[in-house]
Amino acid sequence: MISLRRGSDDGSGQTPAASPAGTSVFHSSADYIAAYKSGATTPTEVAERFLASLARDDRSLVFISVTPADQLLAAARESTARYASGSPLPLDGVPLAVKDEFDVAGTAKTLGLTLQEAAARRVGEAEQGRTSWCVQKLLDAGMLFLGKSNMHEMGLDTTNNNPNWGTPPNPYNRGYYPGGSSGGSGAAVGGGIAPIAVGGDGGGSIRVPAAYCGVYGLKPTHGRVSAEPSVSIAPSVGVVGPIAATVEDLELAYRIMATPAPGSRFPPPGRASPPARKTLGICTPWFEDCDAEVLTLASAAVAHYRDVLGYEVVEIALPHLASSRSAHALTILSEIGSVVGQGRTRGLTPANKLVVSLGSRTPAHDLLLAQKLRALMMSHLAHLFQQHPGMIIVTPTTPHAGVAIPAGCAAKGGAGVSDTNSSIKTMQYVFLANWTGCPAVSVPCGYVAASNMPVGLMAMAEWCAEDALLAWAKEWAARWEAGAAVEAQGVGGVCGKRRRGESWVDLLAVGESEDGAMSWIQTE
């Protein structure tokens, strides 16, 4: 087991630990650390392989900016030296990607805008030379910063279509989006580039890419993880959190990132006692409002929790969902339009010119009514959690297994595209956690046979109950990662063993081809 800190803990009296190496088909931070300690490879070699991989296909589109080669290699050599001397940091040399919504000292921030437009809007100017608190905690643990990952322009959609920098490919199907707005972070983890990435989530922007890219994503309680001094682009609904290759890395990253910043209202993350009863809450009409193959896989997973893992399933009512979804959309558009859009549409992609224009025209009366509805929904959830202590509300993460890229719409330098109806539909399940401030987690639960695209299962819990969500996710992952049969009967559903995507790259296991060039070992 790999301790988070030497001679320290997270304030809960227990030392967080990573999973044993080799328990997943995805490489975890424990796999990297084990390989470094055994001498099988070094952080320097991993950095070199990463830099070489950027020239392969369109993998560079995963990033808006990559750490300059000389800086990355220098950091990797320092990490290699620490392993050689027997004094590595807790996560020394483990690759990390950071969404370009957050700050890293010495690296420009764009929010997915062009460099010219980011400069005109003074993006990151006030934070220049500083690093977001939660990112700094990961860097302090020794992680190897690869670069700033791609995001949808100003975070204003769920696909990560970005004509300014290019659209990252989905690692499972290149004809599909990686999800957004943290699409680069999802693609980096789903494609094997990094076991941990930082994302931001104002309307599912961590969980949607996690689901589309077949990995794990955690949206913490509102305010639980600090990104100071970075200014939130959606203050009342947006949070920062991890996307990870394994559930153990998800927990590890969360515990490091949630180290309280000075002045935080939250204590260090602890470990809650298991509830007296394990309960899943299902709002059936809502749960079933999804594509047939998604319903097949999500239902099979719920049945597994009930029949194998001993959960009681209770029916719950969630009123005003449609109105709440519209009120959330109104709120996040107003906030992003005000904070980043500044009411100006010049210099934006055509789609965002329309979106920012709409957001800047929201009447104050409508915004106030939306917040009244938010308070009502929070009160209703508080009642449900009081009625069913420890309950976890479960849905699919998204109602469909990804969104196909329309022909000619993903090109760098193009006009881009936005389908508002599709975006609102994508947020059908994820929005509620943003709207009410509750924590939520997405886990991969299967694949659709026709497209090979992953399907995510999402759980939402009471405020500050991240530990309960992580425990719930671990119960699933213990069988999913081991390849235990969790069968889904029905239309197009395939469950069971987890697998890598078609463009997965292995930065730990490399060999040489007949001509001496490096070859990446990929999924069969």
Tell me how long the chain is.
524
Q: Look at residues 199, 220, 210, 215 and name the one whose alpha carbon lies nearest to residue 269.
A: 220
What is the three-class DSSP state of 373?
helix
- Give the pLDDT mean for 31-44: 96
Q: How far apart are CA 260 and CA 255, in angstroms?
A: 10
Residues 318, 385: Cα–Cα separation, whole Å: 12
**Residue 215: is it exposed, middle or buried by C-beta count within 10 angstroms (0-12/13-18/19+)?**
buried
pLDDT tens by residue, 400-422: 999 999 988 888 888 888 787 88
Task: Choose the weakest-confidence range: 186-200, 331-345, 379-393.
Answer: 331-345
Bond before 181 cis per omega within 30 degrees: yes
Among 151-155, 192-196, 337-341, 487-491, the least confident range: 487-491
Instruction: With CA atoms as reference, report the closest residue to 102 among 204, 229, 201, 264.
Output: 229
pLDDT given for residue 18 in this prediction = 52
**pLDDT for position 23:** 76
Question: Residues 104, 114: contact at Cβ < 8 Å?
Answer: no
Please tell me which residue, 370 or 60, carries the higher pLDDT value: 370
Phi, then psi, of 142 in degrees rounded to 5: 100, 5
Q: Beta strand pairing status for 216-219 and 440-448?
A: antiparallel
Q: At what angle do helices 364-387 and 321-336 cross, to 10 degrees?
A: 130
Strand ranges in 51-194 using DSSP code E only, listed in sequence order: 63-66, 95-99, 144-149
Residue with tokens 């995510």: 456
% of the chain at pLDDT higher than 70: 91
DSSP 349: -
Give me the pLDDT at residue 12, please. 38
Q: Which amino acid is at 219?
A: K
Q: What is the mean pLDDT of residues 85-89?
A: 98
pLDDT band of residue 275 (cuts 50, 70, 90) is confident
Q: How far apart are CA 328 and CA 288, in angstroms?
A: 21
Q: Quick one: pLDDT at residue 356?
A: 86
Residue 423 zone, left/alpha/beta (φ > 0; ψ -120 to 50; rest): alpha
pLDDT per residue as tens digits for the range 338-368: 887 677 888 999 989 888 888 888 899 999 9
3-state secondary structure 68-79: CHHHHHHHHHHH
Q: What is the pLDDT of residues 227-247, one digit of tens each?
A: 999 999 999 999 999 999 999
CB-based contact 394:278 (threshold 8 Å): no
> Structure pTM?
0.93
pLDDT (0 to 100) of residue 358: 81
The number of beta carbons lying within 10 Å of the beta carbon of residue 86 is 7
Lowest-pLDDT range, 10-19, 69-78, 90-99?
10-19
**What is the C-alpha separation between 138 and 134, in angstroms, rounded?**
7
What's the confidence (pLDDT) of residue 245?
Answer: 98
pLDDT interval class at 165 (50, 70, 90): very high
**pLDDT in the model for residue 516:** 32
pLDDT-based confidence at residue 58 (cuts at 50, 70, 90)? confident
386 burial type by CB count under 10 A (0-12 exposed, 13-18 middle, 19+ buried): exposed
| Section 321-336 average pLDDT | 94
Describe the chain by its helix, strand, coil percentages, rounded to 5.
35, 15, 50
**2-277+318-381+397-445: what CATH class?**
alpha beta
Higher per-residue pLDDT: 520 or 174: 174
- Look at residues 131, 160, 143 and name the one whose alpha carbon lies nearest to residue 195: 143
Tell me the helices (H) and strands (E) count for the chain, helix number first. 16, 16
What b-and-e string marks burial along 31-64, b requiring 16 or more CB atoms within 10 Å of the CB? bbbbbbeeeebbbbbbbbbbbebbeeeebbbbbb
Contact 454, 211 (CB under 8 A): yes
Distance, CA of 254 to CA of 246 (rounded, Å): 12
Question: Does residue 34 have a pLDDT over 60?
Answer: yes
Q: Where are the beta strands (DSSP E) in 128-207?
A: 144-149, 196-201
Both tokens assigned to 314 = 């209770």
pLDDT digits (tens, 9 = 90+) for 103-136: 999 999 999 999 999 999 999 999 999 999 999 9
- What φ, ψ does residue 447 adopt, rounded to 5°? -135, 150
Among residues 431, 462, 473, 463, the alpha carbon closest in space to that of 218 is found at 473
Structure tokens given for 27: 């490489």
Q: Residue 8 pLDDT > 60, yes or no? A: no
The whole-angstrom separation of Cα 313 and Cα 301 is: 12
The pLDDT of residue 19 is: 55
The answer on pLDDT for 271 being more than 50 is: yes
